[in-house]
Amino acid sequence: MSNLLNKYKWILFDADETLFHFDAFSGLKLMFSRFEVDFNIDDFTVYQQVNKPLWIEYQNGLISATHLQHTRFHHWANKLSVTPQHLNSQFLAAMADICLPLPGARELIDSLSGKVNLGIITNGFTELQNIRLSRTGFQDAFNPVVISEQLGKAKPDVAIFHHAFSLMGEPERHQVLMVGDNLHSDILGGINAGIDTCWLNHHGEPISDDISPSYQVGNLTELHQLLMPNTVV
């Protein structure tokens, strides 16, 4: 086992686009097809104009998860004569139906299990997380699974990290690593909570001047090799 893996007793993962694909367009297309609506890329662009600012407000603690989930579907709910709650629930069900682990996720988690404690801290929603962990067979690998919707605080708020630490038995902060794809929620949140961070930089984006992760990888296979360099991946 490498020195780097020896350094940590805990590795915390984000969920969406860190462990799992999150293809919102495909999920929406599937969900709307069940209402006999052909949801296209233009519809998705309009949806994202509403959805993206809501996520920023949610991560900044300005709105609740419920407000986000309902507001983004108001337009379509009126159009289809259903409630926003119903559409949101159907969307999360469709996302669960198309869910796949990212390349290298299963191999990484299988290799780490039993060698280090694994947890999840996600800003995603409860209805999707639990089904997804179950369907991918990951539900026994991660404990705790901390979901912002249940706590009422979202990354990068340190409160969600402190909640996780309490469930983890208050580990030494230098023995905890946070892995995530979002520089502003996962990495900044981890830094503010006093733990090491690894940025999963899928698209080779430049590092921000004011947010410096401890490590940076382009994919989960690179993370596997970083943590366990002697493993054949």
Q: Which residues contact 170 (CB under 8 A, 6 or more apart)?
A: none
DSSP strand E in the chain: where?
10-13, 117-122, 145-147, 176-180, 196-200, 215-217
Residue 122 phi/psi, 5-degree rounding, is: -130, 145
Active-site residue among 14, 157, 181, 186?
A: 14
The single-letter DSSP state of residue 195 is: -
Q: Alpha-carbon distance 72 to 58, whole Å?
A: 12
Catalytic annotation on 43? no
Residues serving a catalytic function are: 14
